[in-house]
A and B are shown apart, each in its own frame.
Chain A
Amino acid sequence: MTRIIHPFHCLWPFLLVGFSAIGQQQNIRIEANFSPSAITLSRQTTYKVTVHGSQQSPSGSLPAIAGLGISGNPRVFRAASFLNGVPSVRLELSFAVKPERHGSFTIPSWNLSVQGTPHRVPAATLRVLPPNQEDVLRAQARQKQESDLRQALFLEVNLLRKYLFEGETTLGSIDLYIWERLPITRLVQLPQKNGDAFSQSEINRPIEKRTSRNGKNYTVYSWPVALTAAMEGMHELFYKMTVRVRVQNNRNSPSGNPFLQDPFFRDPFFGFGREEAMSVTSEKLKLEVRSLPMEGRPHAFRGAIGTISTNSATDAERVTVGDPVRITFTVTGKGNFGVMPAPEIDSSEKIKVGPPAFSFEGDENLRYEGTQHFDYVVTPLRPGQIEIPAVPFAYFDPTSERYVDASGNVHTLRVDAGETWVDPSPPQSAFTEKQQNVEPARNLFQTESEPSEWRKSLTPEPVFRSSAFWYAQIAPLFCFCGIMGWRIRQRSSSRDSSAKRFARLRNEMKRATRFNDTLGFFRATRGAIREKVGALAGQEKPETLARDEVLAILLQRKASDELISEINEVLETADAHEFAGDASASLPLLDWQVRIKRLLKNIRALG
């Protein structure tokens, strides 16, 4: 069984606290019935559930019955009374019921929760009888009323043409007919177009007129509109709008006849009823949009469609080089002026053509009938007899369904060279003299027809006032810092390795002294001297220094002659032991060690 949930507790916002308290003390009893319990098929009835002894919102689900349309939004009615001094409260829920067929329908017993306690709603039966004579008459009256209503307020779309070509603009009107007895208070919404295949002009204020049709007097609001077909094929077009009318009775009354609520059947004049919005829709027009023929399409055709004529004129026939000439190309007639592109004239070596200016004489909104001007500024660049080419223009005539070439005329322009101007001011300095020498002779006060580069401000902005400039300095600064850091580190590591090498050589000297190894002693001594002297000169590889180079560095460092000769002697002795095979000679290495230590100390003092 299909069940519909009715959240009753949401339906009544106010709680009568006093009666609720009373209700809580009473026994709860529930009744259910149809009122009336027998109806014909065309009528409606009410399914009423009465809860005695409580006014609190109940909750439950009403079973759905096939063949009965039961409203999901019941009316709630609360009542309280004193019967023989005893307080009594009740809650009524009324559901509108519309039968869909004749027969007998029973809503079975169902559960309703009141104050949190489940209660049974008794079953109720409805008898639906076949339509009687009265129902038939009522249906006939209803059809007539609907027909009358359509005659009272309707929307019509009138177009000049039965079919359109793609891109063609046609004129039409949207007419709203209002029967004079219909109490329209205002037009809420202007006619809205439904049909994506068409674009239209703006809908502005309507033209109001009075007319008579089928014996009825109407007020007609008419909106002229220019429609342009955008897509080929069969397309539907209709308009929709909303008006507000004055009606008298309550729309939501479940007991009221809905057809009696139609404004047509209400007293239109003297009532003080409420206003209600009413939507009006025009009949759907089926319009064919044909594509433009490809055959015979001129090169100059750029989409102009209509019945038009053209003309072109210049404002001067003789000018000097650089003086702008205006060419006006005029298109007059009926057509798609709203979407008509401007024809183009190409610049050449002899002329420069600026972008055209547009102006339209006629209804600026519809842009269907009138005169369109295209103004071009042509600047002659060379003297002589110049021909300004014809403005290329072609259009499609939808009446004769053929293309027409309507290009403008070729204009001949005599262009003079102009007067040459020489600076009258005498040269003021060597600089200006130089400037004048290189300055070409030009025409004074020549108008430029093209704007040069646009600048937002005249003020020269120093680049160093922008943060971008200082950000740009970060890169070379970082690079510089990096190189410096790398060098310092390299130098430091070089120093460290020099100290290590010197320490190693000193240890070798000590060991050679202990083992009386003369060759090893002098080899280490020579290395230690080279290391110290090399450190003085910043040599990265001091072990490669020759004896002469060592002495030259010492001399450069202004070492004493005594020190130089002693170093020379030590190095000669070392060379003798190393290369002359004098290794067998026994020397007092301990004395030599003391002497070498003193010499090395003296060398270090030179730094």
Chain B
Amino acid sequence: MKLVRLVVYLVSATFACGVDGNEANRPFYDGVRAEASGDLDTAIASYEKAVAISHSANLHGNLANLHYKTGSSGKAILHYRKALLLDPGNPELSANLAFARKAAGLSPATPSADDFHFAPESISIWVWATTIAFWLGIYLGLILTRSYISGFTKIVGVIGWAGIVAFGTYAIWRADRNIDFLAREAVAVLPATTNEGNETAVIRLRRYAGGANDANAELKPGEVVRIDKDEKGQLKTHVTKDQVKWYLARSVSGGKKGWATDKELQRILR
């Protein structure tokens, strides 16, 4: 019964994905046409419509290109990040992101193992590899207990197997932690009311959640921060009387901390 339920779930999930994609095709092509005719604002609006329905690497890539061309470097970096989440191996997107970061005056990103080996999107690979190693070891053990190989060899084999499984478990934990980080990551974006083409424009991290107070620190457009968690494990937010949502965020290095609105800090996974 469970197997039937599983099959139904998978089929319906596949179908649902297909439906979403088809619906998003039209605004995507509208965007391409508008961009081809030079109407960048209409193109951005069309792509944003498609983003509201579904996601694709090329969609976010095109949107990022347009934001860069219209001077919104923060949004460009945000959408390059989104595009790379969907197509991590795309060198063109990586190159564009690096270029946009440099143009925004940000220091080049230093890739670490968390960006590649333990990247969020690698978690499924780690889970399956560890699972396969675990069961393979178990079954090999069953077979080899009756074999005539020496006890030393058996012990070495068990230690090796345990080491592989332990490393796989560690990799899963680390990738899962990076997913948590990613869920809290946001890109600093200049709100639409400000002049985004102004190179000196910055996003202020305030001492308190509210517009009129001193800034703890300032962020350049495109800079990545992580939103703090509250005691319940949720994102630490505050909604003011004028219904503005504020996030308590800190830079990845931890050097900057303060409150900014959800218009100024746009989360990557939204």
Contact = CB atoms under 8 A, between A and B. Distances in A.
A418 interface: no
A452 B57 contact: yes
B102 A453 contact: no
A377 interface: yes
Interface stretch (A83-91, A469-477, A590-598): A469-477
Interface stretch (A34-42, A220-228, A443-451): A443-451
B98 A324 contact: no
Contacts of A562: none
B21 interface: yes
Interface string B98-131: 1100100000111100001000110110011001
B226 to A, nearest CB: 16
Interface in A430-469: 431-432, 435, 438-440, 442, 444-460, 462-464, 467-469
Given A454-B24, A458-B268, A460-B179, A431 B55 contact: no
A453 B179 CA distance: 21
B135 interface: yes
Contacts of A463: 123-124, 127-128
Interface in B29-81: 29-30, 32-33, 35-37, 50, 54-59, 61-62, 65, 68-69
A463 B28 CA distance: 30
Contacts of A515: none
Contacts of A108: none
B138 interface: yes
Interface in B161-189: 172, 175-176, 179, 182-183
Contacts of A369: none
Nearest to A427: B108
B131 A473 contact: yes
Nearest to B17: A456
B10 interface: yes
Given A456-B16, A458-B86, A476-B135, A445 B96 contact: yes
A435 B91 contact: yes
A447 B35 contact: yes
B142 interface: yes
B80 to A, nearest CB: 11
A428 B107 CA distance: 11
A463 B122 CA distance: 11
Contact of A447 (B20, B62, B128): B62
A548 interface: no
A348 interface: no
Nearest to A375: B33
Contacts of A439: 91, 94-95
Interface residues of B, number: 69
A328 B270 CA distance: 36
Contact of B24 (A423, A447, A451): A451
A447 B93 CA distance: 11
**At the interface, is chain A mostly helix, strand, loop or mixed?**
loop
Contacts of A425: 98-99, 102, 108
A424 B102 contact: yes
A185 to B, nearest CB: 45
Most buried by B among A326, A450, A452, A463: A452
B133 interface: no
Contact of A458 (B82, B96, B139): B82
B149 interface: no
Contacts of A421: 95, 99
B260 to A, nearest CB: 21
Contacts of B99: 421, 423-425, 444
B87 interface: yes
Nearest to B99: A444
B79 to A, nearest CB: 11
A426 interface: yes
B55 A458 contact: yes
A538 to B, nearest CB: 9
A455 B32 contact: no
B54 A454 contact: yes
A467 B5 CA distance: 11
A458 B83 CA distance: 9
Contact of A377 (B24, B36, B61, B96): B36
B235 interface: no
B231 interface: no
Given A424-B102, A425-B102, A468 B10 contact: yes
Nearest to B64: A445
Contact of A445 (B65, B86, B110): B65
A324 B29 CA distance: 11
Interface in A224-273: none
A484 B120 CA distance: 37
A460 to B, nearest CB: 4
A480 B139 CA distance: 7
A381 to B, nearest CB: 15
A421 B20 CA distance: 35
B113 to A, nearest CB: 9
Nearest to A319: B36
A146 to B, nearest CB: 57
Nearest to B136: A476
Given A355-B29, A458-B269, A460-B123, A326 B56 contact: no
A445 B139 CA distance: 51
Nearest to B130: A464
A66 interface: no
B230 interface: no
B102 A451 contact: no
B36 A452 contact: no
A452 B87 contact: yes
A459 B111 contact: no
A455 B95 contact: no
A453 B90 CA distance: 13
Contact of A326 (B18, B33, B138, B183): B33
A315 interface: yes
Contact of B33 (A377, A453, A476, A487): A377
Given A448-B58, A456-B17, A458-B269, A464 B95 contact: no
Contacts of A462: 123-124, 127, 172, 175-176, 179
B183 A459 contact: yes
Contacts of A587: none
A355 B22 CA distance: 13
Contacts of B182: 460
A428 B110 contact: yes
Nearest to A357: B33
A458 to B, nearest CB: 5
Contacts of B155: none
A377 B123 contact: no
Given A460-B124, A463-B128, 18 more contacts: A315-B37, A425-B102, A425-B108, A429-B111, A431-B111, A439-B91, A439-B95, A444-B96, A452-B58, A453-B21, A454-B24, A455-B56, A458-B268, A459-B179, A462-B175, A467-B6, A471-B3, A471-B6
Closest 10 CB pairs of A and B: A454-B21, A448-B58, A324-B36, A439-B91, A425-B108, A445-B65, A452-B58, A460-B120, A463-B124, A476-B135
8 contacts: A315-B37, A423-B99, A425-B98, A438-B91, A455-B56, A462-B172, A463-B127, A471-B3
Interface of B: 2-3, 6, 9-10, 16-18, 20-21, 24-25, 28-30, 32-33, 35-37, 50, 54-59, 61-62, 65, 68-69, 82, 85-87, 91-92, 94-96, 98-99, 102, 108-111, 116, 120-121, 123-124, 127-128, 131, 135, 138-139, 142, 172, 175-176, 179, 182-183, 268-270
Interface of A: 315, 323-326, 354-355, 357, 375, 377, 421, 423-426, 428-429, 431-432, 435, 438-440, 442, 444-460, 462-464, 467-469, 471, 473, 476, 480, 483-484, 487
